[in-house]
């Protein structure tokens, strides 16, 4: 299925969850940084719900990591 992740098209397996998507993204980054927030179609998805939150074709997902500034 196709979804949008941070503005880019992404292809995911049917039945993928928010947890699956985050795991894939973190594996690609290899940054060791797993503190992220996720919104699906404009609604924040609590970390405790990631594994139970299915993604659907056309969903828009934003995965955000905190950044330090000053």
Q: What is the pLDDT of residues 28-43, one digit of tens each?
A: 876 656 789 999 999 9
In the chain, where are the structural domains located? 2-64
- Topology of domain 2-64 in CATH is Ubiquitin-like (UB roll) (3.10.20)
What is the bridge-based pairing of β-strands 8-11 and 2-5? antiparallel
Lookup result for tokens 């290899």: 30
Lookup result for tokens 């934003």: 62
The Cα–Cα gap between 50 and 52 comes to 5
The Cα–Cα gap between 53 and 56 comes to 10
pLDDT at 70 over 80: no
> pTM here?
0.88
The reported pLDDT for the residue numbered 33 is 62
Q: What is the pLDDT of residues 10-69, one digit of tens each?
A: 999 999 999 999 999 888 876 656 789 999 999 999 999 999 999 999 999 999 988 777
């Amino acid at each position: 299925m196709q979804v949008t992740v941070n503005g880019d098209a992404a292809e995911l397996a049917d039945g993928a969850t928010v947890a699956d998507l985050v795991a894939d993204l973190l594996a690609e980054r290899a940054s060791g940084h797993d503190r992220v927030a996720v919104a699906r179609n404009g609604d924040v998805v609590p970390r405790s719900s990631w594994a139970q939150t299915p993604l659907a074709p056309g969903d828009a997902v934003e995965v955000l990591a905190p950044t330090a500034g000053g």
